[in-house]
Amino acid sequence: MIAAYALTALLGLLTVFQFALIFGAPLGRFAWGGTHRILPTRLRIGSAVSVVIYAVIALLALDCAGVIDLVPDAVSTVAMWVVFAYFVLGIAMNGISRSKPERYTMAPLSALLAALSLLVVLS
């Protein structure tokens, strides 16, 4: 259960970060390949989609951990394995970014999210 809460908290912090990007904060070097200081409209839309994905992941993690009951256990378990794979892919994608700030912050963060997701699904 602690891993689910930690995962949810990190996703909350990422949501704040994505909202900052959506509203024009000059943090683009940490996201979407790091090529834009302030994100163009298409990447701001991508950040908005990310916020929705983070919310779904948080709900799935809390469901899988038994904190809430939204979907059958089998569904949340399979979904959390998909989430784990998603974050593992994130490690690779952030790790090959041309942006050093993105590589050095988001790749380790993705690794932490993957580890927490794995702990949730195995608990």
pLDDT at 70: 94
Which ranges of 1-123 does DSSP label H, i.e. alpha helix? 2-22, 41-64, 73-95, 100-122
pLDDT digits (tens, 9 = 90+) for 2-22: 999 999 999 999 999 999 999
What's residue 102's pLDDT?
A: 93
**Dihedral (CA of 31, 35, 38, 40) sign:** negative
pTM for the full predicted model: 0.91
Q: What is the pLDDT of residue 39?
A: 96
Average pLDDT over every residue of 67-76: 95
List, for residues 22-37, the tens digit of each pLDDT value: 999 999 999 998 899 9
What does the block give as tokens for 18?
């994505």
Give the residue extent of every domain in the chain. Answer: 2-122
The DSSP call for residue 31 is: S
Task: Give the chain's mean pLDDT.
Answer: 96
